[in-house]
Structure formats: structure tokens, C-alpha cells
Amino acid sequence: MTPQAMMNLVSIAPEVLMTVFGLILVVLDVMTKGEKKSMVGYFGIAFMIITALISQPAIGGKYLGFGNMVMWDTFSYVFFVIFALAYTLTTLGSVEYLRDKGILKGEFYTIMFFSIIGMMFMVSAFDLTVFYVGLETMAISMYVLAGFNKKCAKSAESGVKYFIIGAFSSGMLLFGMTYVYGATGSMNYLEIAEALKNGAAENATVKIGLILMLAGFAFKISAVPFHMWAPDVYQGAPTPAAGFMTVAPKAAAFASLVRFVWIALEPVAGLWGTFFSILAVLTMFYGNLVALSQTNVKRMLAYSAISHAGYMMIGLVAMNKEGYQAIALYSLIYAFMNIGAFTLLGVLKNKGMVEDERLESFAGLAKKNPMYALGMLIFMFSLAGIPPLAGFIGKYMIFMAAMKAELYWLAVIGALNSALACYYYMRVTIYMYFNEPEYEVDATIGRSAFITSFIGAVVVLAVGFFPSAFISFVKHLLV
């Protein structure tokens, strides 16, 4: 094998491996019945672990194959691990939920699994075609996941909403992409960058094309004003799917965005810097302010997810190494805390411990079920970014990046927003701990959901105390 062929193979090997595993899952799905369907998910976890173990690139190693089309490096790997974690946690947390809802189907896991392949392509793409197809793979999977609970009108509604708006945004993305392609003459990131450097940036169509493209990206990361779908979709989607959707696709969008803007758009940094700083401010404020007035916890978490995208955008705007490292770390931590929170939310609701995710129905949860209340408390404070919990480390890295880039004003706005955000997270804890229960419920929660929330909580605590490992994990990231 020539070195080039070797390179090619390595660059795409993880995805290929994943695809093979995905196909095995499809087969497994057919072979299992009823309760056993959860095996599909568990096998998926095993496959993820296998892939993660064997696909780890050497530190600093870059495998760019297929004519600069796909890149496998630490950056891709770290985000792959994030997706894998999101998958693992969601799978563990979802079995019980799906069973209770009567939608325990292997497809849930298969689709989630394939969506991760799409995300991996998005992240490792060095060419807009690969990126686009990966993006759509992910997006279509997400539409399906959102509408997965067919019997529930809300789920169907959220699926359709997500789908229509998503398709619209990818239309805009594409339209923008065509102009960029037209002006630079290529779909390849490196060539785009080259062309932009050589004067294509002067071309006015590039500007409008980029704005349309970035708007498409902004849609994926749910940045204001392209965020409108997010609360409705998260609220309607099956809770584990919602948890997954707030984490993995967003991380993928951010990662691919980082790749794109750092490599392809490096010559027009001013443009996207301004673009995302405007959006970051809007996103943080809008997400937090509206979350304040929510009475449905799931919806509140949806808005909070929007605001978290705002914080992460600060890392993007910082335009330094710390910035995207912070984004990676943030996504990683966010995976644990948000999926943990969503899992708990879903399970508690299904068991009747909370009603309809209403805030008031959380009253006295600490009495009804102290362990889960404690878990929820940890997730809430972590999301709020209170040390020593993991969420703080994430925010801290973001602020570090912003300060380094001398984006003081953005850092200040971010900090103020995180103070503002505290209130609505706290409100959940207020109801859980400070109020008397509205009604008594006797219910036990299954093992897998417990494990998910337990892992989430433990990691959230552990990262708070020993962030070193996590930080050094992302420290080797290089775009």
C-alpha cells in the first residue's frame, strides 16, 4: 500500500468502522424483539467504545486523505468522543423512558448511531460536500428522533417543525455555499482559504454567501435569531432524544464551524468574528431572559441550551486556540450535565413524580426522592456554572479565551448572563428543596436511568475537582 493510500484509509477508518457497526446494529435490530431491543443500544455503546479505543490518533497526528477531503486528527477524535459519550449516556438513560412510552425500538439507537457517523463526517470534513452530506445525515436523523414518539402529537409536531425549518435553513446554507463556491472556485476548505487570500474576498457575492452560510450554521447551533425552532423541538421531542439533541448536534455544528471558519475563512476573520459576536450577545440574552419566564422545566432547559450556545460562541469569537479548546471542553461537560438533567427529567415525569415537567410539580422532590433531587441539584448548579461543579470549568475556559482575545465586553456580558441564568436553574432547586410536595408518589426508578444520572453527577463533580484530565484531553486540539 502506498503511503497515500494508507493515509486515505486512516483518515476515514473510524467512520468506516462506525458504518460497519451501524449496519450490524440494523441487523441486530431485526434479530431482537420486545424488551431485548435495548440490546441494540447497548451494543451500540460497545461499538462506540471499540471505535474510540482503536481510532485514537497520535497526539498531533493529522491524517488528511482523499484529496484533502477528510481529516482525522485529535480534533475529530475529541469530538467523536463527545458524540460517543452523548450516545452512551442517552442510550443508558433512554431505555426506561422508551419502555414506559411503549416506543422501545431498535431504530432509536440505530438512527442515533448513524447520526453520529454524520457528525463525524461534519467534523472531519475538509470539503463542503462531505460536510454537507454529513450535516444532512445528522439532520435527518434528528428529524426522525424528534418525531420518534409517533403516538404523541407533540413529538410529531416537533418533528415536523424541526424538519421544515431545518430544511429551510439548509436551503439557505446551500444557497450561500453556491456563492462561496462560485467566488472561490472550490469546495475544499484549503482551496477556499487560498482563494480568499488571493482576492476572492473582495468579491461581494462571497459576503452574502458567507452570511447565508453562517446563518445556516447559526441555525444548527440555535443562535438567536435562528434559534426559534429549538425550544419547541426540544420540548416536543422524546426527552432522551431532546437531551441528545441539545448536546451532540450542537457540538458537531460547533466543531465543524470551528473547522470551517478557522481553515476556510481564516482570511475573512473580521467578518465572521463580528457576525458571531453579535449573535453571541443576542443568544445569551434571549436564551436567559426567556428561560427566566418559563414554567415548564423541559422548555426552560431548552432555552438554557440556547444560552449555552451563546457562551460557546464567545469561544468561537475569541479566535484563539483557547477558544475552540474551550468549546470542546464545554461540549464535553455539557454532554454530562445536560443529558443527565434530561434523563432525570424524562424518568421522573414518566414515573409520575413530576407532572408534565411543570415547575410546580417539582415541589418537595427532595423529600420524595432525595437522591434524584440531589442529582438534579448538581446538574442545575453545574449548568448555572457554580464552582466547584463542572459547568464552571467550561465557562471559565470560555472566559479565559475571551480575555485572552481581549474581548472584555463580551466576557463581561457572558459573566453577567451567567449570573442572570442562575435564577432559573435555582428555581428548580427551590421547588425541589424548599417547597412541600403537592402529592405523594411511590415509584422506583430502573437501573439504567440511575446509572446515567449517577455517571453524569459523578463526572460533573469530578471534573469540578479534577479538571486536569479533561483539560489536557482537549489541550492537544489543533484545528
Which of positions 192-211 make contact with another protein (CB under 8 A)? 203-205, 207-208, 211
List the interface residues with another protein, window 440-469 (CB under 8 A).
Answer: 464, 467-468
Which of these, 119, 97, 121, 118, lies nearest to 108 by C-alpha position? Answer: 97
Task: Report strand pairing: 62-65 vs 70-73.
Answer: antiparallel
Quote the least distance from Cβ 313 to another protein, whole Å.
14
Binding of another protein at residue 97 (CB under 8 A)?
no
Quote the least distance from Cβ 118 to another protein, whole Å.
7
Binding of another protein at residue 314 (CB under 8 A)?
no
Instruction: Pick from 36, 49, 269, 370 the residue near another protein by CB under 8 A.
Output: 370
Quote the least distance from Cβ 98 to another protein, whole Å.
12
Q: Residue 286 is placed in which grid cell?
A: 434571549
Binding of another protein at residue 261 (CB under 8 A)?
no
Helix (H), strand (E) counts: the chain: 19, 2
Which of these, 145, 151, 186, lies nearest to 166 by C-alpha position? Answer: 145
Binding of another protein at residue 81 (CB under 8 A)?
no
Q: Residue 8 is placed in which grid cell?
A: 486515505
List the interface residues with another protein, window 397-426 (CB under 8 A).
Answer: 399-400, 403-404, 408, 411-412, 415-416, 418-420, 422-423, 426
Size of the site for another protein (CB under 8 A): 128
Q: Which amino acid is at 471?
A: I
List the interface residues with another protein, window 122-181 (CB under 8 A).
Answer: 127-130, 132-134, 136-137, 140-141, 143-144, 147-148, 150-154, 156-161, 163-165, 167-172, 174-175, 177-179, 181
Q: Give the C-alpha separation, 453 to 466, whole Å.
A: 19
Binding of another protein at residue 320 (CB under 8 A)?
no
Give the interface segment with another protein, choosing from 311-319, 353-361, 392-400, 444-452 (CB under 8 A): 392-400
Q: Give the C-alpha separation, 332 to 87, whole Å.
A: 12
Between 353 and 380, CB nearer to another protein: 380
Quote the least distance from Cβ 424 to another protein, whole Å.
9
Binding of another protein at residue 267 (CB under 8 A)?
no
Quote the least distance from Cβ 199 to another protein, whole Å.
11
Which of these, 266, 277, 307, 335, lies nearest to 474 by C-alpha position? Answer: 335
Quote the least distance from Cβ 120 to another protein, whole Å.
10
Binding of another protein at residue 19 (CB under 8 A)?
yes
Binding of another protein at residue 94 (CB under 8 A)?
no
Instruction: Pick from 98, 232, 333, 344 the residue near another protein by CB under 8 A.
Output: 232
Q: Give the C-alpha separation, 212 to 259, whole Å.
A: 17
If you search the block for the grid coordinates 437501573, which residue do you land on?
Answer: 447
How many other β-carbons are positioned within 10 Å of the β-carbon of residue 58?
10
Binding of another protein at residue 311 (CB under 8 A)?
no
List the interface residues with another protein, window 234-253 (CB under 8 A).
Answer: 235-236
Gyration radius (Cα) of the chain, Å? 21
Task: Compute CA distances 30 → 19, 23, 36, 157, 189, whole Å.
Answer: 17, 11, 11, 28, 40
Binding of another protein at residue 76 (CB under 8 A)?
no
Which of these, 218, 122, 214, 226, lies nearest to 175 by C-alpha position? Answer: 214
Between 160 and 441, CB nearer to another protein: 160
Binding of another protein at residue 38 (CB under 8 A)?
no
Between 64 and 335, CB nearer to another protein: 64
Contacts 24+ apart (CB under 8 A), 439-444: 440/368, 441/351, 441/352, 441/353, 441/368, 443/351, 443/352, 443/353, 444/351
Quote the least distance from Cβ 449 to another protein, whole Å.
21
Quote the least distance from Cβ 455 to another protein, whole Å.
18
How many other β-carbons are positioned within 10 Å of the β-carbon of residue 102?
9
Region of 127 please: left (phi>0), alpha (psi -120 to 50) or beta.
Answer: beta
Binding of another protein at residue 118 (CB under 8 A)?
yes
